[in-house]
Structure formats: C-alpha cells, structure tokens
Chains A and B, each alone.
Chain A
Amino acid sequence: MSFKNLITGAIAAAAMAGSAFAQDVTVGFVYVGPVGDGGWTYEHNKGRLAVEEHFGDRVKTIYQESVPEGADSERVMTQMALQGADLIFTTSFGYMDPTINVAAKFPNVKFEHATGYKRADNVSTYSARFYEGRAVQGHIAGRMTKTNKIGYIGSFPIPEVIRGINSAYIHAKKVNPDVEFNIVWAYTWFDPAKEADAAKALIEQGADVILQHTDSTAPQAAAEQAGNVVTFGQASDMSEYAPFPRVSSIIDDWAPYYIARTQAVLDGTWTSVDTWDGIGAGMVGIGEISSAVPADVKAEAEALRDALASGEYHAFTGPLNKQDGSAWLADGETADDGTLAGMNFYVEGLTATIPN
C-alpha cells in the first residue's frame, strides 16, 4: 500500500467517521395522542419514521406523545429546543399559541405547526386539504346509498370539519339529488365508545353510509355488526375493515412534507411558509377503493380524484349557495382559500344547524 493510498484512506475514514457521528440536524415531534392511536398521531409518527429512514445518521428525531395542549406543551417544546432540536413539528391545532411563544424565545430553532394560522419568521404552518378526499367519499357515498340517508360523525364544529361535511354533501348530492345528511357531533377526536354510540344512532335512524371525522375504528366495527352499512377509513387506511364495510379511505401522508422540510433545514434554505397541500402533492391519499364498490362507481371516483389532483377541478366550484339560500359562488367560480380556512356555514341543502 503506497503512502498516498494510505493518506487517502485515512481521509476517507475520517470523513466517514465524521458523517457517522455528526448528526447534522435534530428534529422534534410533539404529539397530542399516543403513537399507537391508529389515526392522527399514528400517521404523524409514520412521517417521523420516514424522516429517520430517509436521512439515516444525518438526522436524529425525538418525540413526545400524549402532550396536553396548553401550558404543558409549551414546556415540552422548550425542553426540546434546549435539548438541541433544530426543527420542531407541533402536530395539533391546540399547540398554536404555545408554539408562537416558544418560537419567540428560540429564534434559531425552526417550528412547524400543523393546522393553525399563526406564523412567525421561524414558524411555518402546514395542513392538508382533506376536503378533496371528502369530495371523493361524497361521490361514492351518494352512489352507494340505498336509503338515501348518509350519517356523518363530526368531531368539533370547526372550519376543517364543516369544510369536509360541505364537500362530501356537494358531491353526494351531485350524483344523487335525494340524498340527506344526518350529522352527529361527538365532541372528541378519539373516543371509541362515543364514536360507536354515534354510529349506532345513525344506523338506527336509517343511514346506510357512515362518514367519520373522528380517528378510531369504532364506527367501522359498528357498521360491520350492522351488516349492510358502508364506511370510509379516516386519517389512516383502516384496511382491516376492507373490502366491506370500509370501501375506501382518506389517508394523511405527512412523510413527503417532513422529509422536504428537514432537507430544507439541512440545506439552510428553510423559510417560513404556509403549506396547504392536497391529493396532488400526496399529502392526502385516497385509500384503495374496494371490490364492494361497483366498477363504474370506482372509475368515476378515480377520475374525480385525478381531476382534483391535477387541479383541473376544484372541490368547491359554483354555482353554490349558502344554507340560507344566499349566493356564495357563481357558476364556474371556485372558493378562495381564505373563505375555506374560516368556513363557518353549511351549503344549501343541508338541513342541520351548526352548533356552538
């Protein structure tokens, strides 16, 4: 072995050792539920694991689960920052003000807050256009129902959930003018017992399709028991209930976003942005449409999905009126993001009222 080779080898070894030991970036995740909830937090944690796998030794991830919103989350974020996190994802709406507070104290740490609307120089926000997925669900639901009664389990009457109800209703009504929506509010994101009760009540009232904006699989189980009720997976694929009652699903896929933002911190190109991605960017996935759905309905739903993904069709396209009959969108007009972000009204045809 020549001297030159030896030197090159030593340099290479040193470089490798350097890259193996230097974790360039530490990324923290704050979760509102346990990582095993099978829904919201589960999908965020899958995103975290994808970051680890993608970057290997260059990135270290840390996380904390079941963090209550409010003062406790502020402390958790501070401790993460003190521990040397460079980028922190706070994955629940209730972390909004705490994120802004902690970010002000650590100007060199980057923060990303999911589903909120407050930003700063070192705070980005990100969310998914779940309502695009709701449009596809609404279409399938409208075609599948025989009783023309669709049950909807809402979590909280906030814009995100109301947007989903409107989107599902518009697209169900488009293919089935006789369709009726019956909405039950569970006032929880995750409570299997309450969700099961809500599903049973809706089924008793004649619903043969159940849509849910809560995270557990309890409504799926209730539908399976009832025998002839169609459901859709929420947040996670819930494929254990496929092909029936679960005929499709909306899947949150945070992995591409988490990888891209981590890469931006590694490259030093991170800036504060407001991201609201849908099917097109891969943040919202439509779970496989099962064999229980007739082939023509499946083809229509997939065409709708592709049109939403390419941007050729918008889920809120006029003519649309508000529930009280006042005009909202003219023929061919599409909703702007501001109205969608703060949506606090039902569209014409829905008979329920939004509780407060």
Chain B
Amino acid sequence: MIRLEKRPTPSRLLTGLTPILAVLLTMIVGGLMFWILGKPPVEAIRIIFWDPLFDPNFAAYSRPQLLVKAGPLILIAIGLSMGFRAGIWNIGAEGQYIMGAIFGAAAALAVYPKESALIFPAMIIAGAFGGWLWAMIPAILRTRFNTNEILVSLMLVYVAESILASVSQGLLKNPEGYGFPGSRNLQQYPSAANVEILPNSGMHWGVVAAFIAVIFAYVLLTRHTRGFEIRLTGEAPKAARFAGVNPTRIIVFCLGLSGALAGMAGMFEVAGPAGQITIDFNSGYGFTAIIVAFLGRLHPIGILLASLLMALTYIGGELAQLMLGLPGASIQLFQGMLLFFLLATDVFTNYRIKLGRTKLGGSQ
C-alpha cells in the first residue's frame, strides 16, 4: 500500500529540485505527445530548448528576444510573488498590465508631438500609477468589505479589456489611422519610444527595470522589516497579528506593488516592442507570470530564471511550429505541462511516500 505522509518540515532539497524535475518530465511527456503527433520528438525538444540559444541561423536574433519576452514576465511575477508569499492572491495582473499601458501611452499621446526628456520618465510614473490604481480596487474592497481579491482582480481583467477596446477606437485612436482602431505608434515618437539601449541586445528600459526589481525584491525579502512581515503573514498569520503586523497595510502594499509593477511592464511593452495600443494589445503576460512566480518558487532569483525558461519555451515553441509544422495548441499544451508537473512534484516537498501499512490505523 502506498500512502503519503506529511513531512515535519518541507524538504529543502526537493524545493530546489522539483522545478528541474518538472522540466525533465515535461520534456519526456511533451516528447511523447510530439511523437504521437507524428513529429520527431528529440528534434522537437532540441528546437525548443537548444536552437533559440545556439542555432547559427537564429541564435543571434532569438537570444536578445529572450530578454524582450522575459522582461515583462519578470516585472509582473516579482510583484505577484510578494502577494503570494503573504497569501494575497492577485490573479488580475493582466488587467493591471493593460491599464498601465493605457495610462503610459495616454501620458505620451497627450503631449504628442512635443519632444522632451521628461516624457519617458512621466510615462513610467503614469504606467505604474495606472496599474496601481487598478490593483487598489480589489485592495480596498478586500480591506473594507472583505471581498475575495481573487475574484475581483480576475473580473477586473475583463473590464480592463473592454476599456482597452474602447480607447483604441476612441480616446487614443490614431487620428491619421484612416478610422482603424489603434493608437499612434510610439516607436515613431522619439521622446516616448522605449528603445534598445544597445542595438540588437534586446535590452530595453523594461528589461533594466526588471533586473532592478529582482534586486529590490531580494533586498526587501531578506533585509527589510516589510519583507519579514510579508513572509510572516503568509507562513503564520496568527503570529503575524500577535507581532503587530497590520494586515490591511500588508494587503494594500502587496496589491499596490504588484499592480504598479504590472502597470510598468505594460507601459514598457506599449512604448517598445508592441509600439501601440490596439484592441488585442495584451497577450497573456499577466497570466503567464502566475506560472512563472510559482515555477521560480516565489524567490526573486528563481523568478528571473523561470522567466527566461518560459521565454525560451515561447520562442523555441514558435521555431518548432515553423520548422516542424507542429500545431500551435500543442505548444500551449507543452507549456501547461510545465505548471502541471511542477504542482504534481511539489507534493513531494511537503509529503513523502510511505510503503506498507499505517501504524496508527489511519486511512487505509
């Protein structure tokens, strides 16, 4: 008889090991899926994980693209991880990302076509403010009326999407766009453009901000009282209350920070790689960042690595589609497996497998 027994403390070894185990299992089962689809499994796995980094044809282009794709994931996931550690579940980063992009772009378009060195910093502040504002709605509802922040923040994603559709056809519509929806392209507005700092490096200001966020989060969690309070609230809520931690303040701080970072990510995206506000501007970064946060064990360095890995599966997945004609859905399935196996193997950090009969005559 096989049963699970709770470990007295979570296994530290497995905490570090399960992400790697999950990647390996994803490779094996994913490879099996590709094989069933009639595609060469080893080649598919190689294209996804190896070619974007080392293929002579693509690497020079796709390596910098890893940073472009990982940048917003890092920013959002760092913010989310703070809340997740404290047991505050912001599921609506996608909406905060959209609002940040709208606020950031609106700040630039309001003064178009003036050129000034102040415009870009103002956009960053506006973007962060937009995301923060959107996250304050679930924060206030939670602290005032004790509503569930998971539902509220998630539902607000759909509200944000509707606002996005509205502004791209109204308020922010490009007046020279022949009536088509979508704003002016900020890439063509020098003061507002989020350009690569070095050509072909992939390093735009959003990636820089992401790295700063990693360092900031690391210091906050390990060296700062607020970081300690966050961890305490999540791990031992009662102890936290006895220690005088104000739960309202923690909720507002965590939701506000994750909203502001998601908003900044949206702003950097709209001013750089995406270029313009359109009806379909958002492409799921806010939801993918949830996977990234857990894959990275809610740890800043872990999130950095998990974002790069996720970016790799995106870019490699696209290459595999192109080169092997794999269906797009199979790549999404492949990415979903990653989270599935992570959660599945995580069980073993908290539980261990016991063989044989239970001594205390418990569950059989």
| A interface residue numbers (CB < 8 A to B) | 28, 34-35, 62-66, 68-72, 74-76, 78-80, 82-83, 93-94, 97, 101, 117, 156-159, 187, 341-344, 355-356
Give the distance to chain B from A85, nearest Cβ to Cβ, in Å.
Answer: 9
Taking the complex as formed, is B356 at the interface, i.e. its CB lies under 8 A from any CB of chain A? Answer: no
Residue of A93, A158, A341, A343 with most chain B CB atoms under a 10 A cut-off: A158
User: What does the 1/0 interface line of B303-328 toward A look like (CB < 8 Å)?
Assistant: 00000000000010011011101011
Q: Which residue of chain B has the shortest Cβ distance to A342 in the bound complex?
A: B178
A343 to B178, CA, bound (A): 8
The stretch of B34-42, B60-68, B250-258 in contact with A is B60-68
Residue of B180, B187, B274, B319 with most chain A CB atoms under a 10 A cut-off: B180
Q: Is the CB of B323 within 8 A of A70?
A: no
Determine the chain A residues whose CB is within 8 A of the CB of B162 once the complex forms. 187
Q: Is the CB of A68 within 8 A of B283?
A: yes
Taking the complex as formed, is B221 at the interface, i.e. its CB lies under 8 A from any CB of chain A? Answer: no
A66 to B321, CA, bound (A): 11
The stretch of B5-13, B88-96, B106-114, B165-173 in contact with A is B165-173
Taking the complex as formed, is B281 at the interface, i.e. its CB lies under 8 A from any CB of chain A? Answer: yes
With A71-B274, A79-B62, A356-B170 known as contacts, the answer to whether A343 contacts B179 (CB < 8 A) is yes
| B interface residue numbers (CB < 8 A to A) | 57-58, 61-62, 65, 68-69, 162, 165-166, 169-170, 173, 178-182, 185, 187, 269, 272-276, 278-281, 283-284, 315, 318-319, 321-323, 325, 327-329
With A71-B274, A82-B57 known as contacts, the answer to whether A65 contacts B322 (CB < 8 A) is no
Q: Which residue of chain B has the shortest Cβ distance to A157 in the bound complex?
A: B169
With A79-B58, A79-B322 known as contacts, the answer to whether A70 contacts B283 (CB < 8 A) is yes
Count CB-based A-B contacts (< 8 Å): 99
**Secondary structure class of chain B's binding surface, majority of residues:** loop
Q: Is the CB of A64 within 8 A of B321?
A: yes
Q: Is the CB of A70 within 8 A of B179?
A: no
With A64-B328, A71-B269, A75-B315 known as contacts, the answer to whether A93 contacts B275 (CB < 8 A) is no
Cross-interface CB contact of A70 among B65, B274, B325, cutoff 8 Å: B274
With A62-B325, A72-B283, A75-B318 known as contacts, the answer to whether A156 contacts B62 (CB < 8 A) is no
Cross-interface CB contact of B327 among A65, A72, A94, cutoff 8 Å: A65
Give the distance to chain A from B206, nearest Cβ to Cβ, in Å.
Answer: 11
A35 to B325, CA, bound (A): 12
Q: Is the CB of A70 within 8 A of B315?
A: no
Determine the chain B residues whose CB is within 8 A of the CB of A80 once the complex forms. 322
Cross-interface CB contact of B328 among A66, A75, A79, cutoff 8 Å: A66
A101 to B276, CA, bound (A): 13
Q: Is the CB of A65 within 8 A of B273?
A: no
Q: Is the CB of B180 within 8 A of A158?
A: yes
Give the distance to chain B from A114, nearest Cβ to Cβ, in Å.
Answer: 13
Q: List 29 A-B contacts (CB under 8 A).
A: A34-B329, A35-B327, A62-B322, A62-B323, A62-B325, A65-B327, A65-B328, A70-B275, A70-B280, A71-B68, A71-B272, A71-B283, A74-B273, A75-B318, A76-B322, A82-B61, A83-B57, A94-B182, A101-B187, A156-B169, A156-B181, A158-B181, A159-B179, A159-B180, A187-B165, A344-B179, A355-B169, A356-B166, A356-B173
Q: Is the CB of B165 within 8 A of A93?
A: no
Give the distance to chain B from A22, nearest Cβ to Cβ, in Å.
Answer: 19
Q: Which residue of chain A has the shortest Cβ distance to B269 in the bound complex?
A: A71
Give the distance to chain B from A302, nearest Cβ to Cβ, in Å.
Answer: 33
A168 to B133, CA, bound (A): 44
Cross-interface CB contact of A83 among B173, B278, B322, cutoff 8 Å: B322
A62 to B318, CA, bound (A): 12
Give the distance to chain B from A140, nearest Cβ to Cβ, in Å.
Answer: 28
Determine the chain A residues whose CB is within 8 A of the CB of B327 once the complex forms. 34-35, 65
Q: Is the CB of A97 within 8 A of B275?
A: yes
With A78-B61, A82-B61, A83-B322 known as contacts, the answer to whether A68 contacts B179 (CB < 8 A) is no
A41 to B62, CA, bound (A): 27
Give the distance to chain A from B239, nearest Cβ to Cβ, in Å.
Answer: 44
A62 to B325, CA, bound (A): 7
Q: Which residue of chain B has the shortest Cβ distance to A72 in the bound complex?
A: B283
Q: Is the CB of B179 within 8 A of A158?
A: yes
Q: Is the CB of A156 within 8 A of B273?
A: no
Q: Which residue of chain B has the shortest Cβ distance to A71 in the bound complex?
A: B273
Determine the chain B residues whose CB is within 8 A of the CB of A159 once the complex forms. 178-180
Q: Is the CB of B278 within 8 A of A70?
A: yes
Cross-interface CB contact of B278 among A65, A75, A94, A342, cutoff 8 Å: A94
Known: A76-B318, A83-B57. 8 other contacts (CB 8 A): A71-B274, A75-B315, A79-B58, A79-B322, A117-B178, A117-B180, A156-B165, A156-B181
Give the distance to chain B from A191, nearest Cβ to Cβ, in Å.
Answer: 12
Give the distance to chain B from A70, nearest Cβ to Cβ, in Å.
Answer: 4
Q: Which residue of chain B has the shortest Cβ distance to A33 in the bound complex?
A: B328
Q: Which residue of chain A has the shortest Cβ distance to B324 in the bound complex?
A: A62
A66 to B322, CA, bound (A): 13
Q: Is the CB of A70 within 8 A of B281?
A: yes
Determine the chain B residues whose CB is within 8 A of the CB of A66 once the complex forms. 328-329
Q: Is the CB of A356 within 8 A of B169?
A: yes
Q: Is the CB of B178 within 8 A of A34?
A: no
Q: Which 7 A-B pairs have the closest CB atoms?
A: A71-B273, A68-B283, A356-B170, A70-B274, A342-B178, A344-B179, A66-B328
Determine the chain A residues whose CB is within 8 A of the CB of B61 once the complex forms. 78-79, 82
Give the distance to chain B from A331, nearest Cβ to Cβ, in Å.
Answer: 27
Determine the chain A residues whose CB is within 8 A of the CB of B280 once the complex forms. 68-70, 94
